Amino acid sequence: MLFWLLFLKPEQSRAKNPTHLMDVYSLGVILLELVTGKPAEQPASDDSVDIVRWVRRRINATDGASQILDPCISRTARQGMQAALELALRCTSVMPDQRPAMDEVVRLLQPLCFSVHPQTPLTAEIVLEP
Looking at residue 77, its pLDDT comes to: 82
What is the pLDDT of the chain when averaged over all its residues? 76
What are the CA-CA distances from residue 94 to residues 29, 32, 76, 100 (Å)?
12, 15, 31, 12
4 band by pLDDT with thresholds 50, 70 and 90:
very low
2 band by pLDDT with thresholds 50, 70 and 90:
very low
Backbone torsions φ then ψ of 41, nearest 5 degrees: -120, 130
The CATH classification number of 18-116 equals: 1.10.510.10
**Would the pTM count as exceeding 0.95?**
no
